[in-house]
A and B are shown apart, each in its own frame.
Chain A
Amino acid sequence: MLVARQILRSVLILRSGRFTVFCFLSFFLSSVSYSQDCNSTIAGFIKDESSGESIPYANVFLKELQKGAISDSLGFFRLESVCPGKYHISISHVGCETKELFLGFTKDTTIEVWLDHNSQLLNDVSIIGQRKKSTTQDRQSLNSDLITQNSNRNLATMLENMTGVSTINNGSGISKPVVHGLYGNRLTILNNGVAQSGQQWGVDHSPEIDPLVANRITVVKGVGALEYQGNSLGSVILVEPKKIRSEPHLHGGTRYFFESNGLGNGINLELQQHHKIIAWRVVGTLKKSGDNNTPDYYLRNTGNEEANVALQLEKLWNKKWFSDLYLSSFNAELGVLRGSHIGNLTDLEEAFTRDVPFYTEDEFSYSIDAPYQKVNHHLLKFHTRYNLSKSHWIDFTYSGQYNLRKEFDVRRSGRSDAPALSLEQFTNFLEGKYTNHLANDLELKTGIQYNRVDNANLPETGVIPLIPDYISNEYGVFGLVTKRIKKVSIEFGGRYDYEQRNVATISNRVPRTIVRHQNDYHNISGVLGFSYDFLKSWNLSYNIGYAARNPEVNELYSKGLHQGVSGIEEGDPNLAQENSLKNTLSLKGKVKGRLFFESLVYYQEINNYIFLNPQDEFRLTIRGAFPVFKYEQTDARLVGFDMAATYKVTEAIEVIGKYSYLHGYDKGNMIPLVYMPANNLYGELNYRLPKWGKFRNVEFQLNYKYVFEQKNLLPSQDFVPAPKAYDLVGAKISIERQWSKLGLKLFIRGENLLNNRYRDYLNRQRYFADDLGFNVIVGINMSF
């Protein structure tokens, strides 16, 4: 019956990420010979991009004719009485990213559509092997629907409900992600394939990325960083902007949200067109929020403001050459709780005894005064690919980053207007990469990289800087091989890095002089992984990786008072590299089509683990006595497991349960490791309807989170004991409606519905104030 068969495949999948899902948009059309005008049928199958399973109850909508259909239990749908022509078709499903197609047909047509299912769970259960890129790494992602519904959050807090992922916060606006207990310089964040280079010194520096630019955020929990330069000792977070849709019309969308806690507002605009000359996409975000509140009082000066923009250009020069350009600018002002700005240890101890922090006001305010942070981050990435043939190609990437961080403190005599910390950082990165997909499922990838970081203090502060000026030059080579033999995937690779760093510090004795240091580091890393598919829908993966991290300049050379943490911090210029060996073992599977589960066990040994060790010493300054912390090295061990399960009670009702456990141990000193996330439980009850009146994809959700008390901690390791266990109840309702030109999504989400008072161990603000109370977020998302 098949007369013609056409494979349309967007070959423009040229993001440099190793984990890019290949078949971003791939479907084929097959035409059937008998057909008449306006009596044609479009039919098709809808499948999950990553698992290959059919998706029932998905909505298919032919915009020009306002004609809709819902897929049946086999994922099959049918649209009848359609005239031949060109049409926009939108395919949506609760929990999936809506797929927009533009296709022309002349006859009865059958299409196959692959949806990007929100894959926090079971991302990689492979049934149809070809659809996914074989990897032995454990990955979880958020798709653009979930990013939209969490648009009031920042990059780190968006990921919070994934197993094994937590956040270190400084209040509500400043958060950095923690994966399997590692954060900051031990965790690599890739923004559109570029390793984010910014000021990641303290726990109070959040990554300078607008998550609303991304349409997918992925956490790779194995040993995923081998292809990337940097210091990752394990996990990687990928922030991936949307590919430009391959169709000639102008499309776009807008997202708006309001949140009750902090009276926050945010708007996000997006426009894109795959024009003949060049494909382009522009995204912009504006956000503003004021003082947050706990169940009992306002948190003064906790507002923040953000203005971000990103431009994406793609050009297919000819069959062989493809280039893309990405420009983004992130600009934020983040308020810090006024009552958390303290002078000395006495102030800190006094703060512990207070129910309500000092400076608390009865009135809500949007104003941001000292202490606050002002952060700008600009990124330019240029990438070009040359296809030597269909199966092997060369990628060339340049990226430049500029990061400017200013922190303003409460100071005397109008000096609050001058930052107390002012750092700028230029990063230039060059990469050449060669990829070859050889016959018999063998893939080879190799590349060379060069990275230069120039970090300088601006002298406007009037304060001796804690972080010295430096220039670092880093050179790397890597090679990776992936091989698939029937049901087994094998992955192995290695990399070598050389870093030379020249540092200029200012002495902490008078007269002030400049003291120069040079650091040289040679590092070798390696990874080995296996993945085995069995029993049709089960998968067992094992991954082992060896990696190193060079000591950072703050760990080597900081000397002086870190007022924010009420301590004198002293670096040690003789610190050696950290070496890590991480093992992950994961088992995923499906039982009787109803129960999906995923479990991951990890065991990580880090030798020469660098940490701030409190000394039995107080140092007298004119502000009083301060405890002394020294950067020291020990051998650390991180052991944990993540578990998640989904049970489909019926096609409409689904229950999800998750549990994360982590135990950190300092083997050298035989004590617990500090700053490890507390164990936690998370549950979700979802009720989903494909259609409800004129609305589609209606979803009701109730969720519950229980965070245990961090008991793996000695009293001497903190100023106050870790906070008690707490629980949070949340809910969400989302609905969609589609017109011929306009798609509409609405959601309402509630956080901490019981208005519980709580403090979190990883939130530094816990010393001073409770965490956030009741919050309702209302959002609207329109697309055309």
Chain B
Amino acid sequence: MPQIFPAYANTVARAAILGAVALGCLGIGLLVALPATSHVTRQDIIVEQPVQFSHEHHVGGLGIDCRYCHTSVEQSRYAGIPPTHTCMTCHSQLWTNAEILAPVRRSLAEGVPIRWQRVHALPDYVYFDHSVHVTNGVGCSTCHGAINRMPQVRQVAPLTMGWCLDCHRNPAPNLRPASEIYNMEWRPPADQRERGGRLLEHYGIRSEHLSDCSRCHR
């Protein structure tokens, strides 16, 4: 009986088996790694906006408080995107003819809203509430990063459920006193461990129940 397979068939078979295993591992590795990449989390992606509004200039340079524009951050789920009118309180006096502000002036003149591109998007089944976070010691920069140094806002944190839970399970390292909530340059002091414990007590936070499903999902 003649040989059906040539001599190199063994090598091919071994290579194929190894290759399949390697491919499988690669696939699984990809599946595990992909959700953490910025392709999925949209971390650090700069989004083109209708107006090139610079937080670096307005917050870092001019020192405008977050709540001047994001007015509802202490009352509502949403921090609030300012109406065109808010922009024009200053820009009807300053830079009144600047080319960059043409869409803002047009919006006010025509009564058509500016359509901003969303940067921080949570899935619809997450019911995140800004107000309870800022009134319980979580500062803006904890999630949004140093906005005062961003010419274009990008998403600093991955905003994955695991990332949320890291803090919900152990909020103490991220808590700050009420006076520092809107301070973009706040850094945990050296004795944050001790301060965090006191702040947990101060805000009445019961971290053992913060990871209940019904806290964020309904």
Question: Do they bind each other?
Answer: no
Enumerate chain A interface residues (CB-CB to B < 8 A): none
Enumerate chain B interface residues (CB-CB to A < 8 A): none
